Amino acid sequence: MRTLKLTLSYDGADFVGWQRQANGRSVQAELEEALSQIDKRDVPVVGAGRTDSGVHALGQVASALIESAIPVASLRQALNTSLPADVRIVSIEETPGFFNARHHARSKTYRYRIFNGDTISPFDRRYAWHVPYPLDLSAMQTAGQEFIGRHDFAAFQASGSRVLTTGRTITASDWVDDAFAEGGGAPGEILHLCGRVLVYQIAGTGFLRHMVRTIVGTLVEVGAGRRAAGSMGLLLASKDRALSGPTAPPYGLYLVQVDYDTAGADLTREPPKVEEEEDGHDILQ
């Protein structure tokens, strides 16, 4: 058996999410089917994050075990030929032992795109949240900085979530007024002609379900003047989801990358189970 680390990107607009489900197309099912055709056997895959319906990925990571001896370069080409056009394999690496895309992840980076203007381009309507009223980007940036560090994010998780702990560590939380920030180019490049694109990027060692989208929804309320920029600390302290803002739509969210540090990991045995969360999963601390 060979253990593979696959990095892939996908347009989530027509998927029910990453995870295989009975009620529609999933990225996991498409990838498993493509691998199974090549390996002539069922090939389960594990994703680093369980992205929701409509959420996109620039750098999702999956792991799988295959028996085929096909070189990784040829495998990548074969998979991209077999997969639908809205999923593409960016790279494949052969890894030692029991590498697991979810359990061995150490941090994730997400990006959220907002089109701020009167009329959004029809080419971008499934790739950014349309906010037509004015937003104070400076206030949003100030508020976003309060999330950096280790905090209890109970006020920013999906209602009804049942997790053991809600403390998470955020390492970056920044807004920019740039449609092409750090390589995150817009699918609809003409949209900036009739408005502006605001890009929020957040990185951390773990996220709760809908945490990023709830943070974005709350920060938009700050930008609209409905909340004070300095009120995020009080919201965090409240641990009350009812006090934070709305959950931003899924189609503006992108999983940008997943980072690993397997140098100190024991890949000779299967990793322990961790609780599943987020638009992805919790990450081992």
Which residues are annotated as catalytic? 52
CA-only gyration radius of the chain, Å:
19
Q: In the chain, which residue ranges form alpha helices assigned H by DSSP?
A: 27-39, 72-82, 137-144, 211-223, 232-238
CA 3 distance to own-chain centroid: 23
Q: How far apart are CA 135 and CA 1, in angstroms?
A: 53
Best CA proximity match to 97, nearest among 259, 258, 257, 263 = 263
160: left (phi over 0), alpha (psi -120 to 50) or beta: left
Q: What is the SS3 assignment for 251?
A: helix
Q: How far from 245 is each of 40, 61, 114, 211, 240, CA to CA, in Å?
A: 48, 30, 16, 11, 11
